[in-house]
Structure 1
Amino acid sequence: MVWKPRVTVAAVIENQGKFLLVEEDSGHQAHTVFNQPAGHLEPGESLINAVIRETLEETGYDFTPTALVGLYRWIEPASGETFLRVCFSGEVGQYYPGHPLDAGIVGPRWLSVAEISELTPSLRSPLVPRCIEDYCAGRRFPLTLLSDMQAE
């Protein structure tokens, strides 16, 4: 068996003390779950372009990454799959209310840290609060840590 971690990107976006989360169908649970705007890196795509794309597709908001919050390895208990999350922070831009959202997305939600804490059983993974905690603790690393190298 070939082991392949799943590379994902996520955006921690704060505006006036509230964080932009996405309410989505869980696919395997009877209720919706909450996550940062996040998704999988696509072939040939840079990490920065992936988080910009995922944020727009899941929320209808433009996003400009300004810093790296952290890199997170998580093993999903039920499946044993390994995820490598690259989490960014940045600035929210224009909102496009009529923009079609990805399948399964209920919609964007602006929530305070207290409101997010109350949702703990409905958070998609422990990565959600951890990324927010690291952001609130001031963890910001320059985007220059990322290098997008391609074969010539």
Structure 2
Amino acid sequence: MADSSPSSDIWRPHVTVACVVARGERYLMVEEEVAGRLVYNQPAGHLDDHESLAAAALRETLEETGWTVELQHLIGVHQWRSTEHGDAVIRFSFAARAVSHDPDRPLDTDIRRALWLTRDEIAALGERLRSPMILHSIDLWLGGQRLPLEALSHLPEGEPS
């Protein structure tokens, strides 16, 4: 039986977060298995219910790479329709600084490894990049785009809107 509640007719994009973590000329990337093929992405993932965007970015980076990072800036908000599943994605890209690494921390099950690559090495991956937002966010960061983290608000639950 189809859901006939009013909310069933509301379009909902996937809300995701990602971190551009630069260390010198290299960027933190993950090699992951998606639909039976190996692809490359920044540390990224979905926003969980009751979670702030900043907390999601920190959590996803740690879970996928073993790196604890400190968010520095919001790079941008990107809208894209995934070629993987056909749904719309709204992605919040952050710039982050690597703080510490736990090499013994188990990574998410679909993550094969975390690695540091140059922009040229990332660009050379071509079709193996999970989305065009990867290079787009790196290029915005390289071009100097820095938005304050305070541009994002996470209001306590239960507060009147």
TM-score normalised by length of structure 2:
0.89
Distance in 2 between the 1:77 and 1:33 partners? 13
Q: Which of residues 91, 101, 110 in structure 1 aligns to 2:97?
A: 91
| Mapping for residues 26-105 of structure 1, pairs under 5 Å | 26=34, 28-29=35-36, 31-77=37-83, 79-105=85-111
Distance in 2 between the 1:120 and 1:54 partners? 24
User: What percent of counterpart residues are identical?
Assistant: 39
Specify every segment of 5 or more residues in structure 2 that has no aligned partner in the other structure, as ranges.
1-8
* One-letter amino acid of the counterpart of residue 95, structure 2: S
Specify every segment of 5 or more residues in structure 1 that has no aligned partner in the other structure, as ranges.
none
Deviations 1:94-139 (CA, angstroms, capped at 9, x unpaired) = 1100001001100101000110111011000111111111111111
Distance in 2 between the 1:91 and 1:80 partners? 32
TM-score normalised by length of structure 1:
0.95
Is 2:158 the counterpart of 1:151?
Answer: yes
The Cα shift of 1:80 comes to: 2.8
Deviates more, 1:32-41 or 1:76-85: 76-85
The Cα shift of 1:79 comes to: 3.4
RMSD: 1.1
The Cα shift of 1:36 comes to: 0.5
Q: Which of residues 31, 35, 56 in structure 2 aligns to 1:23?
A: 31
Distance in 2 between the 1:78 and 1:92 partners? 29
Is 2:14 the counterpart of 1:6?
Answer: yes
Distance in 1 between the 2:84 and 2:99 partners? 36
2:85 is paired with a residue whose SS is coil
